[in-house]
C-alpha cells in the first residue's frame, strides 16, 4: 500500500471562505489534495478568528506556529512533508529558508493568490491619475520580493492568464515554474437556473467584498460618489445594499437609507444574498487576480455590471453576464437597463453559465495539477538544477533572511 503523501500548507491567515475569495481559493486547493489522498496539515502564525473555517471538519490538522522561532524547525522536521505550499510570497519569505534547511527534498509550491505587485502598481497609477503601464511593475519594490519568491519555489500557482502573460513577457519567468490555476467550480446546466429565484422574485442592486482589501473600499467610494447619483436620478426607486466583512468607520459612514444606499456589514451567507439580488454592481478601478464576487454572481444566476479591470482574464472572449463599462454615467445606464429588461437579464444569466463551464471547471485543472506536482517529486533535482536564477536567489537572499530571523529570535529571548 502506498504511503500517503504529506502536504504542509503555511497560511498567511486561517481560511475564511465566507469573508474573502482568497479563503474560498484556499479551501478549493485543500479539497483537490484531500480528494486525492493527501494528508494535509495547515499551519499559521495568525491569530484565530471568529469566522475561520473548521479545518478539522475537512480532515485537515490545524497547527499554530511562531514567526522567527526555531520551534518551527523542530515541527517541520518531525512532520517531514513531501510538499510545502506557501500562502502568498510573504509566507515564503518568512519560512522558505527554514523549509530548505530542514526538509530540503520537500517540493515548494507558492500560491500567489494574485500578483501583489500588479495590484500595488495599479493602485499607485490610479492615485497619481495616470494610466497603468507594464513598466510600472519594474520599479516596484514589492515586485522584486514577489518575483524572487516565485523564482525560489519549484512551482507557483497563478490565478489569471493576464498575470501568466506578465510573468512570462515582463519578468521573463520560465514557464516550467508556473501553473495556471483559476478558481475551480462545478459544471452548471441551464436547467440549474430554474432552481434559483426568478427575475420577478429578485430585487435591488448589491455589492459584496471584504473591506480589508483596498480595491473593495475604493469600489464602494466610486459607487457612492460617481455612479449612484446618475443611477438614482434615472431610477429613483433604486436600492443598493453593500455587504462586506470588516467594514471600517469610513465605510459605515456611507450608509444613507434616504438615498437608497445601505451599508449592511458582514454577510452571514453571501451566496443567499447574491441569489436574492437582481444585479451585482462592481465598478472596480484597480486590483489583480480574478474577482471571486463576479464568479459567485454567475453561480447565483445574478447578472453583473463591472469594469474592464473587474472582468480582466475572467471570460476569455465569451460575452459577459451583463455589461463591462468604465464610464460612470454609461455604467449607471446599463445597470438600469439590465435591472428592468427581463429578456436581457435572462440572456446575461445564460452567458454566466457558459463562462463557468468554459473557464472554471475543476476537472479541467485538478488532474493536471496533481500530475505536475507528482512529477516534480520524482524529478526535483533536475528541475532545480535548471532553475539557476532560483538557486542564485536562494544562496544570497536566504542568508540575509535567515540571519535577520535568527537575530530577531535571539533579541526576543
Q: Is the pLDDT of residue 341 over 60?
A: yes
Query: Do 11 and 104 fall within a single domain?
Result: yes
**Which CATH number fits the domain that encloses residue 320?**
3.40.50.2000
Query: Do 99 and 228 fall within a single domain?
Result: no
State in Å, rounded, how far the first CA of the chain is from the last one: 46
CA distance 387 to 300: 43
Per-residue pLDDT of 170-196, as tens digits, reads 999 999 999 999 999 999 999 999 999
Cα atoms in the 13 Å half-sphere on the side-chain side of 267: 24
Query: Do 219 and 174 fall within a single domain?
Result: no
Choose the final residue of a domain: 359, 388, 403. Answer: 359
| 354 lies in some domain | yes
Query: Do 319 and 383 fall within a single domain?
Result: no
Domain that holds residue 215: 190-359
Query: Do 140 and 258 fall within a single domain?
Result: no
Query: Do 221 and 253 fall within a single domain?
Result: yes
For residue 21, what pLDDT is reported?
86
Lowest mean pLDDT among 88-92, 154-158, 313-317, 385-389: 385-389
Q: Is the pLDDT of residue 37 over 90?
A: yes
CA distance 71 to 68: 9
| 251 lies in some domain | yes
Overall number of domains in the chain:
2
Query: Do 179 and 200 fall within a single domain?
Result: no
Per-residue pLDDT of 218-241, as tens digits, reads 999 999 999 999 999 999 999 999
Query: Do 173 and 249 fall within a single domain?
Result: no
**β-strand pairing of 155-158 with 304-306:** unpaired
| 321 lies in some domain | yes
Lowest mean pLDDT among 285-294, 350-359, 387-396: 387-396
Element (H, E) at 34: helix 21-35
| 1 lies in some domain | no
Query: Do 370 and 352 fall within a single domain?
Result: no
Q: What share of the chain in percent tops pLDDT 70? A: 97
Query: Do 198 and 172 fall within a single domain?
Result: no
Query: Do 328 and 201 fall within a single domain?
Result: yes
DSSP per-residue letters across 341-372 = -HHHHHHHHHHHHHHHHHH-BHHHHHHHHHHH
* Dihedral Cα 387, 78, 24, 272, nearest 10 deg: 170
Say if residues 19 and 245 touch (Cβ distance below 8 Å): yes
Query: Do 344 and 368 fall within a single domain?
Result: no
Amino acid at each position: 500500500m502506498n504511503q500517503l503523501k504529506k502536504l504542509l500548507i503555511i497560511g498567511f491567515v486561517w481560511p475564511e471562505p465566507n469573508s474573502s475569495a482568497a479563503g474560498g481559493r484556499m479551501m478549493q486547493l485543500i479539497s483537490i489534495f484531500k480528494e486525492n489522498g493527501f494528508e494535509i496539515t495547515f499551519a499559521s502564525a495568525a491569530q484565530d478568528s471568529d469566522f475561520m473555517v473548521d479545518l478539522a471538519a475537512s480532515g485537515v490538522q490545524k497547527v499554530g506556529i511562531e514567526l522567527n522561532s526555531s520551534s518551527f524547525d523542530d515541527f517541520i522536521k518531525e512532520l517531514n512533508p513531501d510538499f510545502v505550499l506557501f500562502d502568498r510570497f510573504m509566507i515564503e519569505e518568512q519560512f522558505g529558508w527554514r523549509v530548505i534547511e530542514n526538509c530540503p527534498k520537500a517540493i515548494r509550491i507558492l500560491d500567489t493568490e494574485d500578483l501583489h505587485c500588479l495590484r500595488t502598481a495599479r493602485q499607485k497609477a490610479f492615485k497619481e491619475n495616470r494610466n497603468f503601464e507594464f513598466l510600472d511593475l519594474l520599479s516596484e519594490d514589492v515586485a522584486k520580493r514577489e518575483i524572487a519568491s516565485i523564482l525560489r519555489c519549484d512551482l507557483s500557482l497563478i490565478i489569471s492568464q493576464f498575470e501568466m502573460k506578465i510573468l512570462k513577457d515582463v519578468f521573463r519567468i520560465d514557464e516550467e515554474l508556473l501553473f495556471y490555476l483559476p478558481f475551480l467550480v462545478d459544471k452548471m446546466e441551464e436547467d440549474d437556473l430554474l432552481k434559483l429565484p426568478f427575475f420577478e422574485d429578485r430585487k435591488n442592486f448589491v455589492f459584496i467584498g471584504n473591506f480589508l482589501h483596498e480595491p473593495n473600499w475604493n469600489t464602494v467610494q466610486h459607487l457612492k460618489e460617481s455612479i449612484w447619483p446618475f443611477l438614482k436620478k434615472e431610477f429613483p426607486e433604486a436600492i443598493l445594499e453593500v455587504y462586506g466583512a470588516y467594514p471600517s468607520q469610513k465605510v459605515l459612514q456611507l450608509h444613507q437609507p434616504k438615498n437608497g444606499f445601505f451599508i449592511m456589514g458582514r454577510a452571514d451567507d453571501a451566496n443567499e444574498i447574491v441569489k436574492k439580488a437582481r444585479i451585482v454592481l462592481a465598478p472596480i478601478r484597480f486590483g489583480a487576480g480574478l474577482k471571486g464576487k463576479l464568479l459567485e454572481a454567475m453561480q447565483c444566476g445574478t447578472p453583473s455590471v463591472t469594469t474592464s479591470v473587474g472582468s480582466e482574464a475572467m471570460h476569455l472572449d465569451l460575452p459577459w453576464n451583463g455589461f463591462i463599462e468604465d464610464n460612470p454615467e454609461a455604467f449607471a445606464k446599463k445597470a438600469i437597463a439590465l435591472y428592468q429588461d427581463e429578456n436581457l437579464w435572462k440572456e446575461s444569466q445564460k452567458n454566466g453559465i457558459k463562462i463557468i463551464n468554459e473557464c472554471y471547471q475543476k476537472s479541467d485543472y485538478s488532474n493536471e495539477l496533481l500530475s505536475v506536482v507528482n512529477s516534480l517529486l520524482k524529478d526535483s533535482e533536475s528541475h532545480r538544477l535548471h532553475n539557476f536564477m532560483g538557486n542564485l536567489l536562494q544562496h544570497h537572499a536566504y542568508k540575509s533572511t535567515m540571519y535577520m530571523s535568527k537575530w530577531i529570535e535571539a533579541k526576543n529571548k
